[in-house]
Amino acid sequence: MGHGSTIDLSTENRTLGSLSGKLIGFGAVLAAFGLVGTLLLGMLEGAFDEAPAQSHESAASHGQSDPGTAPSAAQQQHPAAQEKHHEVIHGFVTEWSIWHPYLVSVCFFLTVTLGALFFVLTHHVTNAGWSTVVRRIAEGVSRNVVLMALILIPIVTPGPMGQLYKWFQPDPSDEIIAVKASYLDYDWFLVRLGCYFLIWTILAWGYHRSSVAQDQDGDVRRTSRMSSFSPLGVLLFALSITFAAYDLLMSLDAHWFSTIFGVYIFAGSVLSFHALLALLIVWLQANGRLTRAITDDHMQDIGKMMFAFTVFWAYIAFSQYMLLWYANIPEETIWFLRRQSTWMWGFWGWMLIIGRFFVPFLFLMSRHIKRKRLTITIGALWMLAMQWADMYYLVMPQISNGQQFPFKMVDVTIVLGMAGVYIIGLALSLRGHSLIAERDPRMPESLAFENA
């Protein structure tokens, strides 16, 4: 128990060093495992079989990770009666495609990455002192947004778009879509996505670059420049993540709308990034990096943020639910009805309520839990699993109007494979410079930080 004593960093191991090679190797193995697993299990599970024709373009446009396109009669598992049932139900229905779990996985990693960008921006806005020592890791994670753009590209090609988004080729008699046609337009959709990723890339790379440059020149004006731009950055971030949530996830059911949906995605995004940050720190310290610079007090604050955003997520999720439930307007309640009409999706919803709010709320309450590496690791892994479960809940019930529970092993293998690629991206992003913002003027304050 020191009291504000400054830590001598000269003997501290503050670079990734040989770990980056190990990380890339591990990521490559994981990515290969995910790819092979997806191909093998996908073939077993009929993931690459031709879906019942919905879009005339879907046959021609399967991406490179989609080689087994042998048409199969086995896919005709939906009786005609069910098909008819689908047409009657308000809202829309899509059939399962490999792009559904792919979208779940993309949204999972994209939200984690955006959480890192928000972390960097908001700590500049508030001129935060405690977090300076972990900010470089966040800057590194946020640069993975470029990787996420590359991973997203297959989805926004016409084939997968047709399989995921009904508005891509709407039923001409669908008046609700007709009203929204000017917004839900493929070209305009691409332009918007391009803008979001441009904003995120410029912010992530700009902040990372300026911060790393400060390691060399120690120019404090960089800090004030970054701080004075950050409010605008947060504004751009808020708008872009909101509309990205609308475009990528909410438009899966283009009849439905919820103005709080972007905030919901944001809450989960920041929450899951703090979980990843805790995991990265535990892993780095287990490998002898930053063992004294990052203390139990920093871990406790990261745990506090996880706790706070757990409550925030629950607040937003409930706000969305209660307003729709209370108003009881069919075009709004259909989204939840779809998620409550079968026991399996009902169970999934309860799992989110209990597993994403009550369990972490009680678990993360104690300071001892947040300070111990083992318990914060368990908490962080749990929160990441719940973020995936949440993304799954947003995407998958759109399949067959929620009448089937479409879990397949490829759901898991795609996440693992993408995790491998993501880890390689992290290793590339974090290597070649210090793991802490060496000459940030707030560094002494951060090193001496102590929870009262």
Residues that bind another protein (CB under 8 A): 1-4, 318, 321-322, 325-326, 328, 365-366, 450, 452
125 or 353, CB closer to another protein?
Answer: 353
Smallest gap from Cβ 326 to another protein, in A, equals 7
What is the b/e burial string over 132-159, where b = at least 16 CB atoms within 10 angstroms of the residue's CB? bbbbbbbbbbbbbbbbbbebbebbbeeb
Containing H/E element for 235? helix 220-248
318 or 407, CB closer to another protein?
Answer: 318
Query: 324, 349, 351, 337: which is closest to 402 by C-alpha?
Result: 337
117 or 364, CB closer to another protein?
Answer: 364
298 or 433, CB closer to another protein?
Answer: 298
Report CA-CA distances (Å) from 426 to 23, 133, 148, 388, 421: 8, 18, 12, 19, 9
Smallest gap from Cβ 321 to another protein, in A, equals 7
Smallest gap from Cβ 450 to another protein, in A, equals 5
Smallest gap from Cβ 3 to another protein, in A, equals 4
Q: In whole angstroms, what is the distance from residue 383 CA to residue 354 CA?
A: 12
Smallest gap from Cβ 272 to another protein, in A, equals 24
Smallest gap from Cβ 322 to another protein, in A, equals 5
357: DSSP letter: I
326 or 343, CB closer to another protein?
Answer: 326
Q: In whole angstroms, what is the distance from residue 59 CA to residue 51 CA?
A: 9
Q: In whole angstroms, what is the distance from residue 223 CA to residue 442 CA?
A: 9
Smallest gap from Cβ 434 to another protein, in A, equals 27
310, 316, 319, 322: CA torsion to nearest 10: -60
The residues facing 399 across adjacent strands are 94
2 or 172, CB closer to another protein?
Answer: 2
The residues facing 434 across adjacent strands are 15
Smallest gap from Cβ 97 to another protein, in A, equals 34
What is the b/e burial string over 300-322, where b = at least 16 CB atoms within 10 angstroms of the residue's CB? bbbbebbbebbebbbebbeebbe
3-state secondary structure 144-178: CHHHHHHHHHHHHCHHHHHHHCHHHCCCCCCHHHH
5: DSSP letter: P
73 or 327, CB closer to another protein?
Answer: 327
177 or 448, CB closer to another protein?
Answer: 448
352 or 428, CB closer to another protein?
Answer: 352
Q: In whole angstroms, what is the distance from residue 141 CA to residue 124 CA?
A: 16
180 or 367, CB closer to another protein?
Answer: 367
Smallest gap from Cβ 128 to another protein, in A, equals 19
Smallest gap from Cβ 306 to another protein, in A, equals 18
Query: 369, 274, 273, 260: which is closest to 315 by C-alpha?
Result: 260
The residues facing 94 across adjacent strands are 399
Q: How many Cβ atoms sit within 10 Å of the Cβ of residue 349?
A: 16
